[in-house]
Amino acid sequence: MAISPPSDLVLDVVRAADPTDVQAAQAKLKANKAAFAANSLAEAGAGFGAALDTSAFKAGLGRADKSVKSAGMPEEYRKFEASVLQSFVNTMMPSDSENVYGKGSAGEFWKSMMSEQIADAMSKNGGIGIAEQMYSQALDRLDSKKALNAETDENARARATSMIEDFQRRTLRTEEMKQGEV
């Protein structure tokens, strides 16, 4: 035979409890429910990473059009973009989130870890183009250095030599004039 206490008995106990204790218990139950839901989504493959892959990046936040120059881009450029994005994301995180991350320096640490993971996921999925732009500029600089090292003809070499000699003569003449005044 099962015992089913009358609902009035349960309500009487809740009413007799300290309201702050009841609120704390309700908050813990909500947090446990949220944690369970997050773990269930992650186990089913529909967690945070899947949400980034589907909704946000299809809405235009990700860069699906990776250029040809970024095909062989070193990982350092992507990591730099992730660190820049982390500072952006960290400033966008809610400041009154002690219930989620905890209080004090430990809460700030967990909050920064969360923003680091978000920024890393954004950067791996194309980011906002900082890494691609820096890599493109680095390649352009390399190309321009190759153009600067091109061989010169004899006329250009003679002109450069005469310019250097003229500069040296003017400099020495100025020094001789200064010594003559002293």
- Within the chain, what is the greatest distance between any pair of CA atoms? 123
Q: Mean pLDDT across the chain, nearest whole number?
A: 77
pTM over 0.75: no
| pLDDT band for position 68 (cuts 50, 70, 90) | very low
CA–CA separation, 175 vs 163, rounded Å?
19
User: If you ran DSSP here, which 8-state letter would residue 64 be given?
Assistant: -
CA atoms within 13 Å, Cβ hemisphere of 32: 6
pLDDT at 111 over 70: yes
The angle, 0 to 180 degrees and rounded to 10, between the axes of the packed helices 75-92 and 104-124 is: 130
| 1-58 pLDDT tens trace | 566 655 666 667 767 778 888 788 788 878 878 777 777 777 776 666 665 555 444 4
